[in-house]
Structure 1
Amino acid sequence: MSGFWTAVLLSVVSALCYGAGAVAQRRLADRIGGPFDRRALGALMRHRLWWTAVALNSTGALLHVAALAFGTLTVVQPLGTLALVFALPWAARWAARPVTPREWHGAVLTVIALSVMLVVAPTSAASTLSPATTAAVLAAVLLSVGALVAAAHRIPHPRWSSQVHAVAAGIAFGAASALTKTFTDEIAAGGAAHALTHPAALGTLVLAGAGALLSQASYRGVAVGAPLATMSLANPVAAVLIGMGFMGEEYMGGSWGVGVAVISGMVAIRGVHLLATAADTPGAPPPAAPTPVGALHR
């Protein structure tokens, strides 16, 4: 099998793992009632479905990295958006309902827009983050994520609270990707022992863990499509901003590439809006009521 088709196969399987992980998190969200507080967090950590979701998402990430070893970003990154296409019918089947035309419309718009955005994504980083810059980026991201979480807790409607949590999760995952690039470069330059002394090592773990918990919070009270699409959009945007601001990346095609990315982002936002408001469609089933934490079973 050629490198191209190996990259395609690994990318598709990676998207399947991400989609399955999102569905597992959505099912788990139905079983945790009340606010996402310390009690709910404890129940989450004890539930096998949570660790199944963690394993699926981790496998998806490893396969994504492996795919990049065989293929280019322009092949691998757009195929990653298939996670949304896989997750929608899967989640609908578990909920014993069909995927609505509005959901398919939103998913298609989001996947196409994200694919175009990723194709014109920045070139490889010209430099990595210094320890001081890494610490500053990590602090800024954590402050931004904390502000978004605080804002989400003040939003009474689950739909929009979910979207704010999803934005926060996407930012955390995108920043973790940038720090992972620095960490792997440090391993190549000075070995694993040297890389572990760089703030990127701890920062990657902190942001990845925060992203996992925030993504879980984003699936509560809503269908799987909108939060997954929002995270898929916020993730590359955050990574691009860090890459262009601190790592010397430039958009392919210069200003034209930026223009295409902006238009694609607007189309993706429209797709996310359709997914977020799918429950407003006449005849659409309401989200399942969550089970109280005290009744949660493994």
Structure 2
Amino acid sequence: MHSNLLAVLFALASALTIAWGTVVRHRIAEEAPADGSLKGSPFWNAVSRPLWWAGTGTALLGYGLQVVALGFGTLLVVQPILVLSLMFTLPLSARYDGRRVTFPEMFWAGVLTVAVAVLVLLGRPIAGEPQPPLERWVPALALGAALLITIERVAQRQIRREKALLLGIVTGALFGYVAVLSKAVVDIFIHGGVLALIFNWEGYALVLGATLGTIVQQYSFNAGALRNSLPAMTITEPIVAFTLGYAVLGEQFRVDSLVGWFFMGLALTAMIISTVVLSRKGVG
């Protein structure tokens, strides 16, 4: 059943649960020693703590809600809503830090909300193909792998702030691919059932991408303050997902005038700016 309203509601629930999981796992990563030993590594330190598993479980629940949302609506509807996880992260992070959310943060949160609403309501996205041909996937996957491996290698040679930024870009891009693969897997399951999932590669690629994304995300959290990695992470994901949604899945915004595209571009710009500002103001 196609319903953009249900897609928006489940995407909002997903954004809220993902926000809590992100804050918890970052708090743990901040406490991780970086002495070069296996026990001192950020990922080992994180997975050895029950609270990390609670945060990760919440993030997985959020991902499950995202999958349900994708079952009801297009990627171009769900993905902008997920950006609002940043707006939910702000008060949660402020509570952990024992401070109040400021007026500028509330203002930019309002800008972000309006921008997302414009993208969804004015864009009125239409669905693409349930199972795109392989020739659309191969260039997107090959180019993405080459770029992300290069960025990750460069990140390893940087100091903490730049390293966190670059790893945040890699994390966001990986989850952008995960979002597109999730939509493809949902469509395959709806049209072909469990057997179709077993005999198609998209499900296995989804598991691999989600695993890599989780690991790189934990290292990006450990590399520096959340304000260094979260803006890149939060903005890269929808940009990559939008691009792949158009190029691979064949989804489109239903905008047919220059004025309409102007406001869509304005909304996307406002979403990017407000996300960066909120990330840097609200999370330390």
TM-score normalized by the length of structure 2: 0.79
> What corresponds to 1:18 in structure 2?
18
CA 126–24 in structure 1, closer or farther in 2 if over 3 Å, else same:
same
* 1:156-206 Cα shifts (integer Å, max 9, x gaps): 252x43333222222111111212222233334443233223221111111
Indicate the percent of aligned positions where both proteins have the same amino acid.
Answer: 25
Is 1:64 aligned to residue 66 of structure 2?
yes
Please say if 1:140 is aligned against 2:143.
yes
Alignment map for 1:165-204 (pairs within 5 Å): 165-204=167-206
SS in 1 for 2:101: coil
CA deviations 1:258-280 (Å, max 9, x no partner) are 4434322322332244245439x
Distance 1:52 1:13, change over 3 A: same
State the match for 1:269 in structure 2: 272
CA contact (8 A) 1:109 1:271 kept: yes
**Structure 2: 5+ residue runs without aligned partners?**
none
1:238 alignment partner in structure 2: 240
Separation in structure 1 between the aligned mates of residue 116 and residue 108 of structure 2, nearest angstrom: 12
- Please give the root-mean-square deviation of Cα atoms over the aligned residues, in Å: 3.4
Provide the rounded CA distance (Å) in 2 between the counterparts of 1:35 and 1:121.
50
Aligned residues: 277
CA-to-partner distance for each residue in 1:189-243, whole Å, 9 max, x for gaps?
443233223221111111111222233233333246x644443332222122112
Structure 1 residues 122 and 166, CA gap change in structure 2 (3 angstroms): farther
Change in CA separation of 1:157 and 1:263 when aligned onto 2, cut-off 3 Å: farther
The 2-side partners of 1:21 and 1:43 are apart by 16
Structure 2 CA distance, aligned partners of 1:5 and 1:129?
Answer: 25
The yes-or-no answer on 1:163 pairing with 2:136 is no
Q: Which amino acid aligns with 2:14?
A: S
Structure 1 range deviating more: 6-15 or 138-147: 6-15
Q: How far apart, in 2, do the equivalents of 1:186 and 1:8 lie?
A: 21
Offset of residue 60 of structure 1: 1.0
Q: From 85, 92, 96, give the equivalent of 2:98.
A: 96
Letter in 1 for 2:150: A
Q: C-alpha separation between the residues in 2 aligned to 1:262 and 1:36?
A: 45
Q: Which runs of 5+ in 1 are unaligned?
A: 280-285, 288-298
**Which one-letter code corresponds to 1:185 in the other structure?**
D
Q: Give distance in 2, aligned partners of 1:91 and 1:190.
A: 42
Q: Secondary structure at the match of 1:250?
A: coil
Q: Distance in 2 between matches of 1:275 and 1:35?
A: 32
Q: In 2 relative to 1, CA 67–97 (structure 1 residues): closer, same or farther, beyond 3 Å?
A: same
Contact 1:24–1:50 (CA<8 Å) still a contact in 2? Answer: yes
Counterpart amino acid of 1:149? E
Q: Which residue of 2 aligns with 1:129?
A: 132
Q: 1:42 to 1:277 in 2, by over 3 A?
A: closer
Q: Deviations over 1:134-173 (max 9, x none)?
A: 3443332222222222233333252x43333222222111
How far apart are residue 75 of structure 1 and its match?
Answer: 7.3
